[in-house]
């Protein structure tokens, strides 16, 4: 109780300082939508890096930054598809756009470079010709909105309905997700967001196998079993999911956010630092953005792994904690460097280690002061955009390493725990407009992200917080995307994954939840050890934007897991038709 009170006082004091700010430097975040992220990334590459203050590895983005990006990109491209994409960003984020044209916005400088008014003025601000009951859909993308002095609000329904057939199992696939999204701001310095939805989903067999084994739905948490005689659906999962936070700006350069959310750090399809694979968690996030630097601190309470799942909710889920920093330095528009560090720890009585609240010190130093009981992971990343055509990126994640062992020829020592990512994006392949390609390679050594203390592994609700495969894997990803018209999108993605699974209670370094003390030996470790497993995952989709926020899509998924232990083989063939309204499609690839 004493420690909890101390932590509460810290949060209260930090937030109290925030109310002295003047200029709103930070604002509402976008949803985690990897399809939309490609559009933003494409704009950055084609416009020579976009705005210099936008650090693309830190996701989700701030909505105001997207308006600035779209405004900058519109000066480079004027074709119908690009104009539609720019207009979509304006429509979705119109609380950060002045309805007036540029001609009517006063500027603070003689060169007319810096608008005096807050927000970005744009002739792209659209109003609906026929609002519903003169109250709803006053603008095309928002069900209900309020814009008055010192207050704005956006309210939107969320919906995902889909049905299909899984041919290998001979069963129906089913998505029924309904929810509500609400966001707004008070004055210049306070903003908030919440979204919540209820889901009944009949997942494909490989996700059901994962859920039944782990006890949680990927990206969510606890669930109930669900069946429907009306829709002839059995074996579905019923669960709730919500995100919510409040943000406060401390002046122009520093902002705080407190609440439940997911984060992603990286430029690629995967992240070896921090991904959105696990369920949202409670965190205090501090963003400092000044000059060519964006510095992000995350102090989070996450869920440990020994909890009751479907059997009941009678006990509180055990807690552990995460403290993470990411420093992004962008010396120019086309090049950026990043430094990452995080520590996962638990203490008796759910005690938070207050020394980890230091927002600027290296955690290896702090861990040494307190006896090295925790799991510290370091990382380095970079991105380089080339001639408004391509982008190269990479990550290096370091859990532990012994240079002495490596120099002695023992890279196979169990404690050499690290991974790396290399990737490339190619825009307008071979001169074909809106044909984009991406290739990515990820490789992580056995036991990376694991720990001798089962509570200090890099996971939340039994879901890894970095790559879904955990450790002990090699992965190639090939992605192609073609925007046929302003509303029609074709895309296809291939994952080739190679890993080694555990045998009984022996850990071969893939499952980060199992303590690494259960390894068979100290030396002789290599990627693919254990039960050798190859996974081919291919997905393709056709998407059509019916109206702002409304997507109709057809999807095909093929997954083939080939194991050295034949009983673990599993094949998936899934075809699905669906409609989404203000909801991103989540694809779980593992």
Interval 498-551: pLDDT, tens: 999 998 889 999 999 999 999 999 999 999 999 999 999 999 999 999 999 999
Predicted local confidence at residue 409, as pLDDT:
87
Which of the two residues, 58 and 107, has the higher pLDDT score? Answer: 58
Are 366 and 378 spatial neighbours (Cβ–Cβ below 8 Å)? no
Q: Is 119 a residue whose pLDDT tops 50?
A: no
Distance CA 48, CA 46 (A): 6
Choose among 439, 426, 425, 437: nearest CA to 490.
Answer: 437
Predicted local confidence at residue 112, as pLDDT:
41
Q: Is 102 a residue whose pLDDT tops 60?
A: no
Farthest CA pair distance, the chain? 76
Predicted local confidence at residue 10, as pLDDT:
41
In this structure, what DSSP letter does residue 125 have? -
Choose among 100, 102, 46: nearest CA to 70.
Answer: 46
Query: Picking from 209-223, 329-343, 465-479, 532-546, which range would have the lowest pLDDT averaged per residue?
Result: 209-223
Average pLDDT value for the chain: 87
Predicted local confidence at residue 99, as pLDDT:
72
Distance CA 87, CA 71 (A): 10
Predicted local confidence at residue 167, as pLDDT:
80
Q: Is 103 a residue whose pLDDT tops 80?
A: no
Residue 185 DSSP SS3: strand
Choose among 584, 425, 548: nearest CA to 42.
Answer: 425
Interval 236-267: pLDDT, tens: 899 999 999 999 999 889 999 999 999 999 99
Query: Picking from 20-29, 251-260, 426-435, 536-545, which range would have the lowest pLDDT averaged per residue?
Result: 20-29
- Centroid of chain to Cα 113: 33
What single string gives the DSSP state of each residue in 253-314?
Answer: TEEEEEEEE--EESSSSS-SSB-S-SPPEEEEEEEEEETTEEEEEEEEEEE-S----TT---
Q: Is 101 a residue whose pLDDT tops 50?
A: no
Predicted local confidence at residue 458, as pLDDT:
96
Give the pLDDT band (50/70/90) at residue 360.
Answer: confident
pTM for this model (two decimals): 0.89
Choose among 253, 275, 226: nearest CA to 590.
Answer: 275
Which of the two residues, 69 and 18, has the higher pLDDT score? Answer: 69
* Those residues with Cβ within 8 angstroms of residue 440's Cβ, 6 or more apart along the chain or in another chain: 268, 269, 270, 421, 422, 423, 424, 475, 476, 477, 479
> Domain 2-581: what homologous superfamily?
Porin (2.40.160.10)
Interval 147-206: pLDDT, tens: 999 999 999 999 999 999 988 777 888 999 999 999 999 998 999 999 999 999 999 999
Cα Rg, the chain, nearest whole Å:
24
């Amino acid at each position: 109780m004493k420690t909890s009170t101390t932590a509460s006082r810290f949060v209260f004091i930090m937030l109290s300082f925030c109310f002295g700010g003047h200029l709103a430097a930070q604002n509402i975040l976008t949803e985690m939508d990897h399809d939309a992220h490609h559009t933003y990334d494409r704009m950055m590459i084609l416009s020579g890096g976009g705005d210099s203050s936008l650090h693309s590895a830190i996701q989700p983005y701030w909505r105001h930054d997207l308006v600035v990006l779209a405004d900058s990109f519109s000066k480079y491209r004027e074709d119908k598809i690009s104009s539609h994409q720019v207009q979509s960003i304006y429509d979705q984020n119109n609380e950060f756009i002045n309805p007036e044209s540029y001609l009517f916005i006063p500027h603070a400088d003689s060169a007319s470079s810096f608008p005096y008014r807050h927000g970005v003025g744009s002739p792209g601000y659209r109003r609906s010709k026929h609002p519903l009951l003169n109250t709803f859909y006053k603008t095309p993308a928002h069900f209900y909105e309020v814009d008055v002095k010192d207050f704005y609000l956006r309210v939107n329904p969320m919906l995902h309905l889909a049905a299909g057939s899984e041919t290998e199992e001979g069963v129906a696939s089913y998505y029924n997700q309904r929810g509500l999204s609400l966001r707004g701001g008070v004055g210049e310095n306070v903003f908030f967001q919440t979204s919540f939805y209820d889901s009944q989903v009949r997942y494909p067999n490989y996700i059901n196998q994962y859920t039944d084994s782990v006890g949680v739905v990927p990206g969510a948490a606890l669930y109930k079993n669900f069946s429907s005689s009306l829709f002839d659906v059995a074996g579905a999962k019923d669960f709730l999911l919500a995100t919510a936070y409040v943000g406060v700006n401390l002046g122009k350069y520093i902002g705080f956010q407190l609440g439940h959310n997911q984060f992603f750090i990286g430029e690629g399809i995967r992240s070896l630092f921090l991904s959105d694979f696990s369920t949202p968690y409670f965190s205090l996030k501090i963003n400092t953005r000044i000059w060519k630097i964006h510095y992000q601190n995350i102090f989070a309470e996450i869920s440990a792994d020994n909890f009751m799942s479907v059997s009941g909710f009678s006990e509180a889920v055990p807690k552990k904690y995460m403290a993470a920093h990411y420093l992004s330095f962008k010396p120019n528009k086309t090049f950026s460097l990043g430094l990452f560090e995080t520590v996962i720890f638990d203490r008796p009585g759910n005690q938070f280690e207050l020394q980890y609240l230091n927002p600027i010190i290296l955690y290896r130093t702090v861990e040494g002061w307190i006896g090295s009981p925790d799991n510290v992971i370091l990382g380095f990343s970079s991105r380089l955009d080339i001639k408004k055509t391509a982008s190269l990126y990479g990550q290096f994640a370091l859990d532990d390493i012994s240079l002495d062992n490596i120099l002695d020829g023992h890279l196979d020592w169990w404690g050499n725990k690290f991974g790396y990512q290399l990737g490339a994006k190619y825009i307008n392949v071979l001169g074909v407009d809106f044909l984009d390609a991406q290739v990515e390679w990820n490789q992580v050594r056995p036991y990376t992200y694991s720990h001798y203390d089962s509570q200090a592994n890099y996971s939340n609700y039994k879901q890894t917080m970095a790559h879904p495969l955990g450790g002990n894997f090699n992965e190639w990803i090939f992605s192609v995307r073609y925007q046929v018209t302003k509303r029609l999108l074709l895309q296809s993605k291939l994952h080739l994954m190679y890993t080694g699974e555990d045998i009984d209670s022996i850990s071969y370094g893939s499952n980060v939840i199992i303590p690494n003390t259960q390894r068979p030996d100290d030396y002789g470790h290599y990627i693919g050890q254990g039960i050798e497993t190859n996974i081919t995952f291919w997905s393709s989709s056709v998407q059509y934007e019916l109206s702002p926020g409304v997507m109709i899509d057809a999807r095909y998924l093929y997954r083939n897991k080939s194991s050295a232990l034949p009983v673990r083989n599993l094949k998936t063939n899934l075809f699905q038709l669906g409609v989404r309204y203000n909801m991103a499609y989540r694809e779980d690839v593992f």
